[in-house]
């Protein structure tokens, strides 16, 4: 197993890494919408979904994969009222329509509105 480390995605805020490569799989940790350069969290679900997707993409790239090779995602929303707006942004990145779970949770780290994790195969 190899840990993924990239400055293009936010660093871990706990005892975990941004992702791992194991065999032919790239597995990301959940990516919240924190800008890795500024630490800023944008307002609104659309902008937060965009940043979370960009962060997932950065971890996938650092691990040797990309959005086209994603097999499964798990998405966490602070409110299912944001489901449609989240899907609109998500669909621009995950065009291969991987398997997905999407659930509402009580709270997310830093009070964000969404978090995305992915499992992908190597390119």
Q: Point out the residues that are catalytic.
A: 102
pLDDT tens sequence for the chain (123 residues) = 999 999 999 998 889 999 999 999 999 999 999 999 999 999 999 999 999 999 999 999 999 999 999 999 999 999 999 999 999 999 999 999 999 999 999 999 999 999 999 999 999
Residues in the chain: 123
Check residue 16 and give left, alpha or beta (phi > 0: left; psi -120 to 50: alpha): beta
């Amino acid at each position: 197993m190899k840990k993924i480390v990239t400055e293009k995605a936010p660093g871990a805020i706990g005892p975990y890494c941004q992702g791992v490569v194991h065999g032919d799989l790239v597995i990301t940790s959940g990516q919240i919408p924190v800008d890795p350069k500024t630490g800023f969290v944008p307002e609104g679900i659309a902008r937060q979904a965009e940043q979370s997707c960009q962060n997932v993409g950065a971890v996938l790239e650092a691990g040797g994969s990309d959005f086209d090779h994603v097999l499964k995602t798990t998405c966490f929303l602070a409110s299912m009222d944001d489901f449609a707006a989240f899907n609109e942004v998500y669909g621009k990145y995950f065009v291969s329509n991987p398997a997905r779970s999407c659930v509402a949770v009580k709270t997310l780290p830093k009070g964000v509105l969404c978090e995305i994790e992915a499992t992908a195969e190597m390119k």
